[in-house]
């Protein structure tokens, strides 16, 4: 970590604590597995490649220039049209393994929770900051929008697919057990085709904590 | 600040330092002034309202679903088509005053550097994190993409408009003096019309520092 004298010190030279800027950094990763959802259901199925345009994965359930607001946007009436920043769901196998263990399951398969991409090689994937760029060797770029919040719909799908005795209890358990472990959502900055096993250069942007 | 036991502690109970999560917070602000650029030039002119669709300000120089990569994206060949996340330029008067002082100028007008919106009431505006939501009372939502990096084109415009003796020196001075003080760029999450003096509720998202 390096410290950078913040410009605010010139405004308020008496400020005790300058904002610490963590420099941008790169990580090497891999597209371990790819999945697409049919247009009418959020669960995904394995594929060999993802065809991406500016709206997301061509034909996927979550593709589109805009989407309808839901429970994640309590500040909007349900159904409000808003920009679709949640085009792709990205998860990590090690994080899903922790969630599975917590839920008493042998596994949670990425397709059960509608993941489009399993990334290998990024520790704490769910904690990647907004604005992280994923440069795929084949030319595609995805931009991380935010940490993905686990919801009951995905929980119910896990409970059903894993054959849990109490599906509703399983549905409720997932949001608690998967907090900060359910990966991130991202949108397409630069379109193209992503292939399984493709290398990814992950650019974590400069980081700091905003203080008002 | 509150501390939240990070999920990683369950993975690595021996971890020394859990990730500190700073909760989301709200700030009250105001749209102090609005500006639009003609379609063929980045300099803006004052207006009474901004008409926003999902592509940005209707008819503005920076509007569009995509844009061409430039010096800010050294990883792409110049001219590469990429998603336009830089639809609006947002600045703060107090920060521009610091830059003006550093450059030996009486003022830097927002329109000289192509600003679309002057926001009042947000301290350290340029440090707002990616993902910050700006809810305008009239219904529009903008989402902050990133801190805006000051460039020589804006510097040259300042030098010319302020009548600096050495325009090229002024152009070069701006990127140095305006670092972390040139505001942020944002895109439209929810379209509509923004009017001068409109109230804004600023939602700063949860924050943390990602550590790989």
HSE at residue A159, side-chain half, CA atoms within 13 A, is 17
Q: Which chain A residues contact residue B122 at CB under 8 A?
A: 212
**Per-residue confidence (pLDDT) for residue B40, from 0 to 100:** 83
The 8-class DSSP code of residue B176 comes to H
Gap between the Cα atoms of A88 and B210, Å rounded: 21
Tokens of B206: 């949860």
User: The dihedral of CA B6, B12, B14, B15: what is its sign?
Assistant: negative
Q: Note whether A149 contacts B: Cβ–Cβ < 8 A.
A: no
B80–A66 C-beta distance less than 8 A:
no
**In the prediction, which pLDDT does A38 show?**
86
Low-confidence ranges of chain B (pLDDT < 70): 1-17
Q: What is the 3-state secondary structure (H, E, C) of A22-39?
A: ECCEEEEEEEEEEEECCC
Which phi and psi angles does B111 have, rounded to 5°? -70, -25
Q: Inspect the interface and report whether the beta carbons of B7 and A98 lie closer than 8 Å.
A: yes
Interface membership of B8 toward A (CB under 8 Å): yes
Does ipTM surpass 0.85 in this model?
Answer: yes
Summarised one tens digit per residue, pLDDT across range B147-162 is 999 999 999 999 999 9
**pLDDT for the residue A3:** 45
Residues within 8 A of A (CB atoms), B 72-91 only = 75-76, 80-83, 85
Residues of B in contact with A6 (CB under 8 A): 180
Q: Quick one: pLDDT at residue B212? A: 85
B204 near A212, Cβ under 8 Å? yes
Q: Look up residue A182 and give its two tokens.
A: 């359910």
Interface membership of B211 toward A (CB under 8 Å) = yes
Pick the closest to residue A148 from A171, A134, A163, A130 (CA basis).
A130
pLDDT for B11 equals 56
Q: How far is CA B121 from CA B34, B35, B197, in A?
A: 15, 18, 12
How does pLDDT run along chain A (212 residues), one tens digit per residue?
344 545 455 555 545 568 899 999 999 999 999 999 988 888 999 999 999 999 999 999 999 999 999 999 999 999 999 999 999 999 999 999 999 999 999 999 999 999 999 999 999 999 999 999 999 999 999 999 999 999 999 999 999 999 999 999 999 999 999 999 999 999 999 999 999 999 999 999 999 999 98
Nearest CA in chain B to A178: B7
Global pTM reads 0.92
């Amino acid at each position: 970590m390096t410290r950078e004298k913040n410009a605010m010190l010139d405004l308020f030279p008496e400020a005790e604590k300058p904002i610490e800027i963590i420099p941008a950094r790169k990580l090497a990763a891999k597209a371990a597995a790819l999945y697409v959802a049919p247009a009418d259901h959020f669960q995904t199925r394995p594929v060999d490649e993802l065809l991406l345009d500016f709206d997301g994965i061509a034909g996927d359930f979550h593709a589109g220039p805009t989407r309808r607001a839901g429970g994640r946007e309590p500040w909007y009436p349900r159904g409000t049209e808003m920009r679709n920043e949640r085009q792709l769901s990205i998860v990590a196998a090690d994080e899903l393994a922790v969630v599975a263990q917590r839920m008493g399951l042998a596994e949670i398969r990425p397709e059960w929770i509608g993941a489009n991409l399993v990334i290998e090689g990024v520790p704490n994937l769910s904690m990647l900051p907004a604005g992280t760029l994923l440069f795929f060797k084949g030319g595609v770029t995805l931009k991380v929008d935010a940490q993905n919040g686990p919801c009951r719909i995905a929980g119910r799908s896990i409970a059903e697919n894993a054959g849990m005795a109490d599906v509703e209890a399983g549905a409720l358990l997932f949001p608690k057990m998967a907090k900060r472990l359910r990966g991130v959502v991202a949108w397409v900055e630069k379109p193209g085709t992503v292939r399984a096993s493709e290398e990814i250069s992950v650019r974590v942007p400069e980081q700091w904590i905003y203080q008002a």
